[in-house]
Amino acid sequence: APFTTFKGGQISIAAFLKEFDPSRMRVGYNGKTEFLDILNNTVAITLRDHFLRREAERQQLQQTPAVQQELALWRDKWVYNATRTHFSLPAQVDSAEA
């Protein structure tokens, strides 16, 4: 059974749950209204990403030079952020090493 249907497609509950990333939700909210707003936004982003990805695959956009360049830039950004996080952690030095 479809979870939702849009012009050009639908997504089942099972497929949606596979793509839904609960880490986009934070812990702790200022009431039910804020929680529901953030949940709504997270569901909307998941659905948007699903249909955009499907359309991009249909048009084989991943093979275009512009998309390849953008993917390379994102990979560089992720590597940079991971490296910066790793090397900015406090160092543990014991008295024998000092």
pLDDT averaged over consecutive 10-residue blocks of the chain (98 residues)? Answer: 79 91 86 92 92 90 91 92 86 70
Return the pLDDT at 72. 92
- Both tokens of residue 92? 């543990």
Q: 46 with 21: CB under 8 angstroms? A: yes
Is 0.75 topped by the overall pTM? no
- Measured CA to CA in angstroms, residue 37 lies from 28, 33, 80 at distances of 13, 6, 32
